[in-house]
Amino acid sequence: MPVKRADKTPMPVREANLRAHDFEEVNEGYCFAHAMFEAERCLRCQDPVCIDGCPVRVPIADFMHAVAAGDMPKAAELLRTANPLAAICGRVCPQEAQCEANCHMTKRFGPVAIGHLERYVSDWEMEQPINDEVAKPWRDEKIAIVGSGPSGLVCAGELARMGYTVTVFEALHAPGGVLRYGIPEFRLPNSILDWEIQSLERLGVEFVNNVIIGKTLKLEQLFGEMGYKAIFIGTGAGLPKFMGIPGESLNGVYSANEFLTRINLMQAFDFPRSETPLSVGKRVAVIGSGNTAMDAVRSALRLGAEHAMVVYRRSENEMTARIEEYEHAIEEGVEFHWLTNPIEVLGEDGWVTGLKCLRMELGEPDESGRARPVPIEGSEFIFPVDNVVLSIGTRPNPLLHKATPELKTHSWGGLLVDERQVETTVHRVYAGGDAVTGAATVILAAGAGKRAAEAIHADLSVDREKSATN
Partner 1 sequence: MVKIVEKRQLTPITKLYRVYAPLIAKAARAGQFVIVRVREGGERIPLTITDYDRDSGLLTIVVQEVGATTRRLGELQQGEEILDMVGPLGEAPDIPSGGHIVGVGGGYGSAALLCLMRELKDRGENTTIIMGAREKDLLILSDELNEICDHVEICTDDGSAGFKGFVTERLQQMIDGGPPGPPDYVIAIGPMAMMRAVEKTTRAAGIANAASLDPLMIDGTGMCGGCRVTVGGETRFACVDGPFFDAHEVDFDEAVSRSKMYVKQEQKAAACQRSAAGAA
Interface residues with ligand FAD (CB under 6 A) are 92-94, 146-152, 169-172, 177-178, 182-183, 212-214, 234-236, 238, 260, 291-292, 295, 322, 397, 399-400, 433-435, 439-443, 445
Among 75, 217, 219, 263, binds partner 1 (CB under 8 A): 217
Cβ atoms 151, 448 nearer than 8 A: yes
Residue 358: closest CA among 318, 314, 388? 314
Residues forming beta bridges with residue 463, ordered by sequence position: none
Between 242 and 381, name the residue whose CB sits nearer to partner 1: 242
Site residues, ligand SF4 (CB under 6 A) = 42-45, 48-50, 54, 56, 58, 60-61, 64, 83, 89-90, 93, 95, 98-99, 103-105, 112, 114-115, 118, 443
Cβ atoms 186, 303 nearer than 8 A: no
Between 349 and 377, name the residue whose CB sits nearer to partner 1: 349
Give Cα separations from 93 to 11, 30, 39, 113, 241 (angstroms).
15, 17, 19, 12, 24
Between 129 and 244, name the residue whose CB sits nearer to partner 1: 244
Residues 239 and 165: their CA atoms lie apart, in Å, by: 30
Sign of the Cα torsion 213, 216, 217, 218 reads: positive
Cβ atoms 256, 292 nearer than 8 A: yes
Does 191 bind partner 1 (CB under 8 A)? Our answer is no
Q: Minimum CB separation from ligand FAD for residue 427, in Å?
A: 19
Q: Minimum CB separation from partner 1 for residue 233, in Å?
A: 14
Q: Minimum CB separation from ligand SF4 for residue 108, in Å?
A: 11
Looking at residues 242 to 271 of the shown chain, list those that interact with partner 1 (rule: CB under 8 A).
Answer: 242, 244, 248-249, 251-252, 254-255, 257-258, 261-262, 265-267, 270-271
Sign of the Cα torsion 288, 151, 55, 79 reads: negative
Give Cα separations from 416 to 116, 144, 185, 423, 432 (angstroms).
35, 19, 33, 8, 10
Looking at residues 143 to 172 of the shown chain, list those that interact with partner 1 (rule: CB under 8 A).
Answer: 171-172
Q: Is 470 exposed, middle or buried (0-12, 13-18, 19+ CB in 10 A)?
A: exposed
Looking at residues 374 to 403 of the shown chain, list those that interact with partner 1 (rule: CB under 8 A).
Answer: 397-399
Between 69 and 226, name the residue whose CB sits nearer to partner 1: 226
Residue 262 binds: one of ligand FAD, partner 1, ligand SF4, none (C-beta under 5 to 8 A by kind): partner 1
Q: Minimum CB separation from partner 1 for residue 182, in Å?
A: 10
Q: What 3-state DSSP class applies to 239?
A: strand
Residue 239: closest CA among 255, 224, 227? 255
| Contacting residues toward partner 1, per CB under 8 A | 171-173, 181, 209-212, 215-218, 238-240, 242, 244, 248-249, 251-252, 254-255, 257-258, 261-262, 265-267, 270-277, 279, 350, 397-399
